[in-house]
Homo-oligomer: A and B are copies of this chain.
Amino acid sequence: MKEPEPQTAAGKVLWHFSMSLDGFVAGPGHSMDWMTGFTGRDGLVEEYVATTGAILGGRDGWDAFPDAATVYGGLWHGPMFVLTHHPEDAGQADGVTFLNVDVAEALRMALEAADGKNVEVLSPTIGRQLLERGLIDEIDIHLAPVLLGDGIRLYDNPGGAPIPLTLVNGGGRVEVDLRYRPVRGG
């Protein structure tokens, strides 16, 4: 008797960002020039390039960086889905699908396209909506050693209830101690 083919495991849904210490994933006007002068750990980019099957983003982010070839410094290639109420004026780009659908339906399509790998959600507003529906598996943050004071926040939800989290790469519901010094003349 032949062994049954192993079922493809469903990929995870990751809300994934580098974020300033004060909670911004982009500066004012989606500026990203603050993301220089510091480094991530070795192998980080390669890890996400290998495990990411599809990307789900929003229209604002796309309009700020309308080039799928720049994801992970051009190292990642795969299907990208961009949610927009106006696909008709979004232009065209290889590998990019512009969708005017419910976020859960967009995520379903992205998971299918990811073919067992993870889906990265690269949008604060889409992430928030998926979080509300219980559809975010993990919030992966690379906390950058910088204060911005203004910009686009990871999580903007006035009037909402606090969302409790548990630290996967740590001891559960614990605080992480971080001590920073301002870089003088920086």
Contacts and interface: CB of A to CB of B under 8 A. Distances in A.
A168 B179 contact: yes
A23 interface: yes
A121 to B, nearest CB: 13
Please state the number of chain copies in the assembly.
2
A166 B180 contact: yes
Contacts of A22: 23, 153-155
Contacts of A96: none
Contact of A184 (B28, B37, B134, B155): B134
A89 interface: no
Contacts of A40: 174-175, 177
Contacts of A139: 21, 179-182
A38 B155 contact: no
Query: Which are the 7 A-B pairs with shortest beta-carbon distances?
Result: A23-B23, A149-B157, A164-B186, A165-B180, A168-B179, A142-B175, A145-B165
Interface of A: 18, 20-24, 27-28, 34, 37-41, 44, 128, 131, 134, 136-150, 153-160, 162-170, 172-184, 186
